[in-house]
Amino acid sequence: MFSSPDQRVCHNCGTPQREGLSACASCGASLQTTAGSACRECGEENTSDSEFCTHCGISTRVLPTVSFIQAISLGFKNYIKFNGRARRSEYWWFVSLQVPVLVVPLIWVVILIPTISVTTRRLHDIGRSGWWQFVPNVLLISALIFWNIKLKISMFNTELLLLAIMSGSLAILMLIILIIWWVKHGDDGPNKYGPDPRTVGRE
């Protein structure tokens, strides 16, 4: 079956279409010709109605937000997985498990490693190294060490006092920066840490 040059052809299955149709009579794909956005995986342009990228085959749809139950499941499933990426919803739902720690400290022992793991993957999602999460802790410990040394040596040692204040202030500043990073939208498409976790088929 041949089509005339001015007859529309379905971009999905190649079947010629009658005038006035909004969807392919053969495969049901939309016949809209408006341009869409770049594929989240390969970066190539696709039409707005494409369900799969015509270049790499990855689904162009975005996964819905991760629920609390899914986040907990993913957190423990990826207990010691320190590579790859994690979505904001996966991170924040899992971190919310820290709240009961205030009541039952033993829970902290159970969720410590998966929390470090999901935090690493969340930082990977914005193209940052997972090691950044430890900077506030190192600075805070440094501040406490300087303060203890100051107390043991002399109450009037201003150098150690300034070092303690400076380390503590930097720890707070770094924690604020980390919170900003944790709420930031992840990189669209793959980055050096792995594929986009928002792409269908990635979770």
Residue 115 belongs to some domain of the structure: yes
Higher-confidence residue of 153 and 196: namely 196
Residue 103 belongs to some domain of the structure: yes
pLDDT at 36 exceeding the cut of 60: no
Q: So what's the pLDDT on residue 4?
A: 43
Residue 42 belongs to some domain of the structure: no
Query: Do 52 and 189 form a contact (C-beta atoms < 8 A)?
Result: no
- Quote the percentage of the chain above a pLDDT of 70: 65
Query: Do 35 and 47 form a contact (C-beta atoms < 8 A)?
Result: yes
Across 97-101, 110-114, 134-138, least confident range: 97-101
Residue 91 belongs to some domain of the structure: yes
Query: Do 17 and 24 form a contact (C-beta atoms < 8 A)?
Result: yes
Rounded distance between C-alpha atoms, residue 69 and residue 74, angstroms: 9
Domain around 84: 68-183
DSSP label of 24? -
pLDDT at 94 exceeding the cut of 70: yes
Query: Do 52 and 45 form a contact (C-beta atoms < 8 A)?
Result: no
pLDDT at 132 exceeding the cut of 50: yes
Residue 59 belongs to some domain of the structure: no
pLDDT at 17 exceeding the cut of 50: yes
Q: How many domains does the chain have?
A: 1
Residue 2 belongs to some domain of the structure: no
Residue 5 belongs to some domain of the structure: no
pLDDT at 125 exceeding the cut of 50: yes
Residue 63 belongs to some domain of the structure: no
Q: So what's the pLDDT on residue 198?
A: 84
pLDDT at 123 exceeding the cut of 60: yes
**Does the predicted TM-score (pTM) go above 0.85?**
no
